[in-house]
Amino acid sequence: MTTLPETTQRKLGLVIDLDTCVGCHACVVSCKGWNTENYGAPLSDQNPYGGDPSGTFLNRVHSYEVQPEEGAAQLIHFPKSCLHCEDAPCVTVCPTGASYKRIEDGIVLVNESDCIGCGLCAWACPYGARELDAAEGVMKKCTLCVDRIYNENLPEEDRMPACVRTCPAGARHFGDFADPESNVSKLTAERGGMDLMPELNTKPVNKYLPPRPKDEMDQIDVLAPFLAPVAEEPKGFIGWLDKALEKI
């Protein structure tokens, strides 16, 4: 079994803005592309166009229709990947020590040379963030693109997880939660960043920003005069010509 470090020097993780995410799946595609093309053991897919396809993803986006107590229903897009928990049950349950949490930055990783694919970590993870790669026979999970964020061969602006770099809506943010002045710490404090399923006491590093309240009908009514058409109905020859063209 693997033991967890008492503390970590940094707490690298993500802030995901549920108000901004549009469910485009760009993060899923970029994650798959980066890890398939550059990862030590590529993410494999079996029978992708057949009747029984299977594959491995490190990041997924789920969509839910939420009905608030008042107002219209809202569609919420919910990205989900490994949360790199401080008290990660997937680490302590691993029988070979393949699953571990790094002291230097708090990232939870899998040493694939020691993984036997038993699946205990997947059973222990309450977030469903681990998947078995059927072709490789090992467990796969989000690595926070550890091979990108420390890669000095990349331009500085690219030294972040592929999903963050790709998100067209700016819904994903990467940084150090151990630093109160970091962008992720400030966003969490300002917007009330939440843990996923806090009652489990896994202390996830990644945080979610809740959706903002939507406009109410009375607010829309105030804007109605400004939304009225500006142009008046054409008269005279222009009016006759406009009607004639409509019949063509």
Asked whether 25 and 33 are in contact (CB, 8 A), the reply is no
Q: Indicate yes or no: pTM above 0.85.
A: no
From first to last of the 248 residues of the chain, give the pLDDT tens digit: 678 998 999 999 999 999 999 999 999 999 999 998 766 678 888 888 888 888 899 999 999 998 877 777 889 999 999 999 999 999 999 999 999 999 999 999 999 999 999 999 999 999 999 999 988 899 999 999 999 999 999 999 999 999 999 999 999 999 999 999 999 999 999 999 999 999 999 999 999 999 887 655 555 566 566 666 656 677 787 778 878 888 87
pLDDT score for 221: 60
Distance of CA 7 to the CA centre of its chain: 25
pLDDT score for 216: 59
* Type of residue at 54: S
Give the residue from 13, 27, 40 showing the smallest Cα distance to 196.
13
In whole angstroms, give the CA distance from residue 78 to residue 107.
21
Does the domain at 12-218 match CATH 3.30.70.20? Answer given as yes
Give the residue from 66, 61, 54, 72 showing the smallest Cα distance to 26.
61
Asked whether 61 and 78 are in contact (CB, 8 A), the reply is yes
